[in-house]
Amino acid sequence: VEAPILAGLKVVITAGPTREAIDPVRYISNHSSGKMGYALAAAAQQLGAEVCLLSGPVNLSTPVGVKKIDTITAQAMHQAALAKAEDCDIFIACAAVADYRVAEIAEHKIKKTDDCDEMQLRLVKNPDVVASVAALPNKPFTVGFAAETQDLNHYAKQKMARKNLDMIAANDVSKPEQGFNSEQNALKVFWPDGEQQLDLADKSALAKQLLALIAKQYAAQ
Ligand code: PMT
């Protein structure tokens, strides 16, 4: 009997959104449900990997046999990722991490005022989780995602190069039947000397297909 394709490998997967507080009652976030990342975690575990899931706030149950670490903010996910990435073989960044956070979180609930119809929030850049992992001296095989609404191939390849990734899975998030918070997705996967289209399918089926590509490129490196 052949060993499962990820047998003996440590895989870290980020999933879900991050939340960036504005004040004690409000936050900035996005539409990620965590479904794609959790499907990857479940599939990787079934394929023999030891899986650690770094999860933003989602309403999903943790896949059987998977270790999960909960984080809320991008900064917390960044810290958790750096702590875990040192000791893993494959790192997959499926989380929708907020690129910016509020510069100064208000200590008390911000009040609506009668005299002003506008308000401004100053945002500062968050650390890039997957780029930081890919910059480690003993970097794991690092896979990113690219969520795009236009020029998918161009932006995905650009992100793979800029973030020093070994592979990137791009999805078009402008269509309602795929991407954020849907049961299905479609991916265009790129690595430095190849590409593969994975057609619209349930996220669990797609996760297995993506992990097969990852296992192949990991073994070839
Ligand atoms: O969660 P679901 O509802 O199932 O939806 C799945 C998904 C659409 C969220 C998922 O398939 C997806 O595309 N995830 C990546 C979302 C994203 O933030 O993409 P991006 O193109 O903005 O970021 C590029 C890459 O950098 C991603 O791997 C992201 O995790 C990573 N990143 C981005 C910013 C940051 N500060 N740190 C990061 O690690």
Read off the pLDDT of residues 30-45 as tens digits, 9 standing for 90 and up: 999 999 999 999 999 9
Q: Does 19 have pLDDT greater than 90?
A: yes
Ligand 1 centroid from CA 5, angstroms: 25
> What distances in angstroms separate CA 219 from CA 13, 35, 91, 136, 198, one per listed residue?
19, 27, 14, 20, 20
Known catalytic residue at 126: no
Q: Does 3 have pLDDT greater than 90?
A: no
User: What's the pLDDT at 2?
Assistant: 83
Q: What is the mean pLDDT of residues 110-134?
A: 95
User: What's the pLDDT at 92?
Assistant: 99
**The CATH number of the domain covering residues in 10-104+120-220:** 3.40.50.10300
Q: Band of the pLDDT at 170, cuts 50, 70, 90?
A: very high
Rg of the Cα atoms in the chain: 18
Cα 193 to Cα 216: distance, rounded to the nearest angstrom = 13
Q: Specify the DSSP element, H or E, that contains 219.
A: helix 203-220
* Model confidence, pTM: 0.98
Q: Does 172 have pLDDT greater than 90?
A: yes
Q: What is the mean pLDDT of residues 144-161?
A: 97
Cα 19 to Cα 98: distance, rounded to the nearest angstrom = 7
Cβ(86)–Cβ(10) under 8 Å? no
Q: Does 116 have pLDDT greater than 90?
A: no
The reply to whether ligand 1 has any atom less than 6 angstroms from the CB of 78 is no
Q: With the C-alpha atoms ordered 134, 158, 76, 89, is the resulting torsion angle positive or negative? A: negative
Q: Band of the pLDDT at 169, cuts 50, 70, 90?
A: very high
**Which residue minimizes the CA distance to atom 17 of ligand 1?**
96
Cβ(147)–Cβ(169) under 8 Å? no
User: How confident is the prediction for the chain on average, in pLDDT?
Assistant: 97
What share of the chain in percent tops pLDDT 90? 95
